Structure 1
Amino acid sequence: MESIPKTKQWWKEAVVYQIYPRSFKDSNGDGIGDLRGIIEKLDYLQELGVDVVWLSPVYKSPNDDNGYDISDYQDIMDEFGTLADWDELLHEMHARGMKLVMDLVVNHTSDEHHWFIESRKSKDNPYRDYYIWRPGKDGKEPNNWQSFFSGSAWQYDEATGEYYLHLFSKKQPDLNWENEKVREEIFNMMTWWLDRGIDGFRMDVINLLSKVEGLPDAPVTNPNDRYQWGGQYFVNGPKLMDYLREMKEKVLSKYDIMTVGETPMVTTDDAIRFTNEQDGVMNMLFQFEHMDVDSKPGSPLGKWDIQPWKLTDLKKIMSKWQVELHGKGWNSLYLENHDQPRSVSRFGDDKTYHVESAKMLATWLHMMQGTPYIYQGQEIGMTNVSFPSIEYYRDVETINLWNDVVVNKGYDPDKILKAIHYRGRDNARTPMQWDATEHAGFTTGTPWINVNPNYRDINVEQALKDENSVFHYYKKLIRLRKEHPIIVYGSYELLLEDDEQIYAYVRKFNDEQLLVITNFSSEQPTFTLPSHITFTEKQLLISNYTVDENESIDTIVLKPYEARVYKLK
């Protein structure tokens, strides 16, 4: 058995809360969340018990991709407030013992950033080489790469008769990381924020910075499926580790901060290379394998082609990440963020067993090894929204999909709308549900996107009053993490590998074991304790139903979406 690892770190023991500012709290009635709205709600976050807030982008931006298209890295978007508001927010968070992590978006900028405005003026402009420009080939794009947001990844620009690369929206041109000046500008900007007092960065699509030399065509079998071929051309590209090591050496290593990389299409080997504590380049990362468990691989519709997911597939993925990173790297634990639908609608039951399944999912995730992330509203069990038509949606990815496959290609609109109801990013972006008053207490004006109609039943005010609410359950999970080092540092062993209803696992640390039993179904399967798990005393740490503490755990008939955690000695 192992004792506390030498590498005890505050960011391993922390619980992170993600704020999507546009949808969190509006303080001035313009229908858009803002920094003063966040300041108003800091006591709520302190009550929940989170240690770190990750703030999605609040920088100057024309808002093509809700702030992930930045026009000035060192100023605040007008709708969100001012730098003075931001300074106050940081001060108020630190006063409550919370840390602030900012979003670092440096694969691309906005096409309205002054670097790009200069870059497109002429081929010999000093900023030309800040971006990736190429002449066309035979009257067409420089290659056949497709954008993550549908359509070609190249945009023709009249002024100089060339194309620029954009892996995302055409208003998000990719930066040219080969250019030393670009890297220097970015490192200076990062240092500026760290010197203002922030506690780290969440790094947007950070493993896409390096593109393969020559930018060759992708295999034509399925040019739409970036997930199939992107890995050869711009994921973990040839110079990525050089860029990230330089970033670490020149900036990150000088501060005691938390860094988490958003890294699509990585393996556990990549993760160890990125996050090992000897020569890694970030503390932890977000991987997406479990987020693709319900997608049809290789489909022309990509993530929008939904397939029923199997618990055994989820077990394989989660267990691989738990076991292979243990002692070698560090993982992030998440089921929701601003790009993912609501987890209780996706992996639980948001109707009959709404509260039970929301608590079960929280237990299952928070008892694993890694740093847990809670996305705003997840702690009260917010659900997906089913808007009646495309007119209600605001997300650029969703709208581009609709125009591409329904308007241009004639796909069945009902089928695509269903996929959007299930998978669309706006599921996570409907306003935070604070109370049962109009617009859920988010704004006194007209919200920028409609509120989920179920806000009268699911809201913070009600959750705080009900001691059996999802909120109070999350609060307890966060507290348990602080009280039991085994939750942070223990090893992981999967039980009942082939069971399609029960996900159970054991964590081990010193002479203690943690037994986690969760039922992912609305049925009542029987859990049988494997014979190799022995103990002399047991303590029930948390459960989402009332349980007799003295009940034997050799066999348990589980209730729908039941979760229990026992500490065994």
Structure 2
Amino acid sequence: MTQTRYSEWWRRSTVYQVYPKSFKDTTGNGTGDIKGLTEKLDYLQELGIDIVWLQPVYVSPQYDNGYDVADYEAINPDFGTMEDFDELVQELHRRGMKLMTDIVVNHTSVEHEWFKQASSGKDNPYRDYYIWKDPGPDGGLPNNWQSKFGGPAWQFDEASGQYFLTLYDKTQADLNWENEKVRRAVNDMMLFWAKKGVDGFRMDVINVISKDQRFPDDDGSVPPGDGRKFYTDGPRVHEFIKAMYDEVFGPYEMVTVGEMSSTTLEHCIRYSSPEEREFSMTFNFHHLKVDYPNGQKWELMPYDFEAMKRLFTQWQTGMQQGGGWNALFFNNHDQPRAISRFTDDKAYRVESAKLLATTLHGMQGTPYVYQGEEIGMPNPIWKGIEEFRDIESLNMYRILQEQGKNPGTAQSILQERSRDNSRTPMQWDDSPNAGFTTGTPWIKVDERYPDINVQKELADPGSILHHYRRLIALRKEHDVFVEGSFIRLDEAHPEVFAYARQAEGAALVVVSNFSGKEITFRFGDKQWAELGERSGQQLLIGNTAEAPVLAQELPLSPYASYMWLIRK
């Protein structure tokens, strides 16, 4: 492997994802703001963070928590002012950190000026900024595509007698990327932020911007049969992204990550290979669908551990062989907390949080830390449907009951699946509202905050927070984190995920017990032999008071996780 292949600075970096609405409120209005993030930059710097990903703070009616943008070049007053934003950029750069902002360009809010113009009449020059279709032959919907948030993907416009496409919320109108003027406007908007000093972009659902222009019905031959096969990784998507790179990402040397919905490994290699000149890295979500029975998010089942390990292995080896780069994550603003989903967030909460972090941070890619995971925040305790705020969740609560489920069952599904699980306020200390706000928070604070908060974690040298600090530092210290090839070592073990990262002169070995049982894990003879000479082993990090010596047979306590370095 050549040095140039892994020379990009962001390959050794760690990204911290900030959901601004729930991070820190400085005004007392119950909503987090930009100044709240600026106030906490020293905390993030001490954690070792290199890049802060700030989710949307643009003007928005907030039907989808800011992903329904009404003005791309103005700050939502709920979050502060443009001066506050400029100060944030300046303070980040002063600390040697970088800012990545969210860009949402598959759709806009129907309150965006472009859509207001487009809906004023068929002759308006902005009409073609969006996707309009006449009713189908039966006088109904243009096709049978479904919204990702439930229900049809089309909304009827009474004034013109046409439908417009909404793949997400009904207030989020899909932009027409076939229109060159749309592409020009998007590039101009990104240049506006680049010139302000923004260092990179996270591109929301970017692989759905190119639609099959026939807009055919989905015949259901490829599950889930909701139309996504006609717009996922669509016919011109790579062409559109390359144009963004040539005009914006490349000239400003930006770090970029594409959020890829229902994508494939082959496409993500193309999206993130340096030779392709598209994105720095990609998110995929396949490993977070291992508890979806038949791909259905709103049904419950125990997660398939072997499927998770198989998917991680597939993407680790495939992206490396193809020259792509992974964005590594278990948590984000759209997912329930991983500690509640895949481990034990009660009896073994501390061990579980450290296990998930160790397992993930040993892989190849750029790790993402979602606010609160570094202190082991679990899913909150929900007491009633009135506590939920997420539009997707509230839509599904209604739809689940229409499908015949009683309200209690519908709520129990929301408790496990809702995006609100990750959106409750950051827990800073044990003062009222966890130190998030002096007012009434926009969404409930989890009642366990007196025991789970940053202040308490900072004071404990053995805390989850300090475990994260060490993992983030290790990535910068050892080349094997960036360069090592991935070898799975556990042979489909029912409780253990074990893998190695092999590089010239060193190997990294990670072993994690994803069960609440004491077990003995034995490396297979072939896997043990693949590790080669092991005389120079060093325990880099572990989550128990005493760690076993790396040997072919390892005693593992519940949720034990260790990382060793072997020097060769």
Shorter-normalised TM range: over 0.9
Distance in 2, matches of 1:221 and 1:267, equals: 18
Which amino acid is the alignment partner of residue 489 of structure 2? L
AA at the equivalent of 1:287:
N
Counterparts of 1:360 and 1:149 in 2: how far apart (Å)? 32
Q: Distance in 2 between matches of 1:4 and 1:486?
A: 12
Q: Alignment partner for residue 399 of structure 1, among 364, 388, 394?
A: 394
Offset of 1:497 from its aligned partner?
2.1
Distance 1:517 1:5 in 2: 30
Q: Give the aligned partner of residue 558 of structure 1.
A: 556
Please name the residue that 2:528 is paired with: 531
> For 2:238 and 2:460, how far apart are their aligned partners in 1?
49
CA distance in 1 between partners of 2:226 and 2:11 (Å): 33
1:167 equivalent to 2:140? Answer no
The residue that corresponds to 2:342 in the other structure is: 347
Deviations 1:376-430 (A, max 9, x none): 0000000102312211110010011112222x33322222211111111000000
- Correspondence for 1:56: 55
How far does the alpha carbon of each residue in 1:133-179 deviate from its partner, in whole angstroms, 9 at most, with x for none?
11112221111111001111111111212111000011100000011
Match of 1:11 in 2: 10
What amino acid does structure 2 have at the position aligned with 1:25?
K
Counterpart contact for 2:16–2:369, Cα < 8 Å: yes
Q: Deviations over 1:175-207 (max 9, x none)?
A: 000111111000001011001111110000000
Give 2:405's match in structure 1, choosing from 393, 405, 411: 411
Match of 1:103 in 2: 102
- The answer to whether structure 1 residue 495 and structure 2 residue 489 are counterparts is yes
Query: What secondary structure sits across from 1:445 in the alignment?
Result: coil
From 312, 330, 335, the counterpart of 1:335? 330
- Is 1:290 the counterpart of 2:287? The answer is yes
Letter of the 1:567 counterpart? L
Q: Which moved more, 1:416-425 or 1:333-342?
A: 416-425
The correspondence of residues 361-400 of structure 1 with structure 2, limited to 5 A, is 361-400=356-395
- Give the whole-Å Cα distance in 2 for the aligned partners of 1:25 and 1:105: 23
CA distance in 2: counterparts of 1:386 and 1:334, whole angstroms: 23
Answer with 46-55 or 526-535: which moved more.
526-535
- CA drift at 1:548: 5.4
SS of 1:455's partner is coil
Question: Which deviates the most, 446-455 or 131-140?
Answer: 131-140
The equivalent of 2:200 in structure 1 is 200
Residues 217 and 227, structure 2, Cα contact 8 Å, conserved in 1: no
Offset, 1:42: 0.7
In structure 2, C-alpha distance between the alignment counterparts of 1:411 and 1:306, rounded to whole Å: 13
Q: In structure 2, what is the equivalent of residue 81 of structure 1?
A: 80
Secondary structure in 1 matching 2:425:
coil
1:319 to 291, 310, 313: 313
Write out per-residue CA displacement over residues 265-306 of structure 1, whole angstroms, 9 at most, x where no aligned residue. Answer: 1111111111111124111100010010100125xxx20112
After superposition, what is the alpha-carbon deviation per residue over 1:54-81, rounded to whole angstroms, capped at 9, x for unaligned?
0010001010100000000001001000
**Cα deviations by residue, 1:287-334 (Å, 9 ceiling, x for unpaired):** 010010100125xxx201122123211111000001111141101100
- In 2, distance between residues paired with 1:178 and 1:528? 56
- Corresponding residue for 2:146? 146
Asked if structure 1 preserves the Cα contact closer than 8 Å seen for 2:360 and 2:367, the reply is yes
Distance 2:171 2:43 in 1: 36
- Matched residue, 1:92: 91
Q: Distance in 1 between matches of 2:277 and 2:408?
A: 46
Contact 1:17 / 1:52 at 8 angstroms: preserved in 2? yes
Is the CA contact (8 Å cut-off) linking 1:312 and 1:497 kept in structure 2? no
CA contact (8 A) 2:13 2:366 kept: yes
Which position in structure 2 is the counterpart of 1:435?
429
Amino acid at match of 2:476: K
**Larger displacement relative to structure 2 (88-97 or 6-15):** 6-15
CA contact (8 A) 2:397 2:414 kept: no
Distance 1:267 1:386 in 2: 35
**Corresponding residue for residue 470 of structure 2:** 476
2:547 and 2:280 mapped to 1: Cα distance? 40
Once the two structures are TM-superposed, the CA of residue 567 in structure 1 deviates from its matched residue by 0.8
Give the whole-Å Cα distance in 1 for the aligned partners of 2:93 and 2:349.
34
Letter in 1 for 2:554: I
Q: List, as ranges, runs of 4+ consecutive aligned residues in structure 1 with deviation greater than 4 Å.
A: none
Q: 1:266 to 1:57 in 2, by over 3 A?
A: same
Counterpart of 2:27? 28
What's the CA shift for 1:214? Answer: 1.8
1:547 deviation in Å? Answer: 2.3
In structure 1, how many angstroms separate the alpha carbons of the residues matched to 2:506 and 2:175? 49
Return the letter of the residue paired with 2:405: Y
Task: State whether residues 5 and 489 of structure 1, in contact with CA within 8 Å, keep that contact through their aligned partners in structure 2.
Answer: no
2:410 is paired with a residue of what secondary structure? helix
Q: Which residue of 2 aligns with 1:423?
A: 417
Partner of 1:358: 353
Contact 1:93/1:100 (8 A) holds in 2? yes
Question: Partner letter of residue 248 of structure 1?
Answer: Y
SS at match of 2:74: strand
Q: Deviations over 1:475-522 (max 9, x none)?
A: 010011111110122111001221010111111111211111111001
- Identical aligned residues as a percent: 47
CA change 1:502–1:444 in 2 (3 A) is: same
**Structure 2 unpaired stretches of 5+:** none
The one-letter amino acid paired with 2:242 is R
Q: In structure 1, give the amino acid aligned to 2:314.
A: K
| Residue equivalent to 1:155 | 155
Give the drift of 1:524.
Answer: 1.3
Q: Helix, strand or coil for the counterpart of 2:174?
A: coil
User: Secondary structure, in 3 states, of the residue corresponding to 2:271?
Assistant: helix
Amino acid at match of 1:249: D
- Partner of residue 240, structure 2: 243
Aligned alpha-carbon RMSD (Å): 1.4
CA shift, 1:120, in A, is 0.3
Which of the numbers 446, 454, 462 marks the counterpart of 2:448?
454
Could you tell me which residue of structure 2 aligns to residue 545 of structure 1? 544
Provide the C-alpha distance between the structure 1 equivalents of 2:383 and 2:109, rounded to a whole number of angstroms.
Answer: 31
In the TM superposition, what is the alpha-carbon distance from 1:229 to its structure 2 partner? Answer: 4.8
Amino acid at match of 2:11: K
Pairing 1:304–2:273 present? no
Cα displacement string for residues 411-450 of structure 1 (whole angstroms, at most 9, x for unaligned residues): 2222221111111100000000011111111000000000
Bigger shift: residues 308-317 or 357-366 = 308-317
1:180 paired to 2:177: no
Q: CA deviation at 1:3?
A: 5.9
Q: 1:517 to 1:228 in 2, by over 3 A?
A: farther
Distance verdict in 2 for CA 1:552–1:190, change over 3 Å: closer
For these two proteins, the number of residue pairs brought into alignment is 560
Name the structure 1 match of 2:566.
568
Summarize deviations over 1:243-265 as a string: whole Å, max 9, x none.
11211122222111111000011
Q: Please, what TM-score do these two structures have when normalized by structure 1?
A: 0.96
User: How high is the TM-score relative to the length of structure 2?
Assistant: 0.96
Determine the structure 1 residue equivalent to 2:266: 269
Per the alignment, in what secondary structure is the counterpart of residue 379 of structure 1?
Answer: helix
Cα deviation for residue 221 of structure 1 reads: 7.4
Q: Deviations over 1:220-241 (max 9, x none)?
A: 579xx6x545442110111111
Contact 1:315/1:497 (8 A) holds in 2: no
Query: Which residue identity lines up with residue 483 of structure 1 in the other structure?
Result: E
Q: Aligned equivalents of 1:197 and 1:497: distance in 2?
A: 47
Q: Answer whether contact 1:266 1:287 (CA < 8 A) is retained.
A: yes
State the distance in 1 between where 2:214 and 2:309 align. Answer: 40
Partner of 2:504: 510
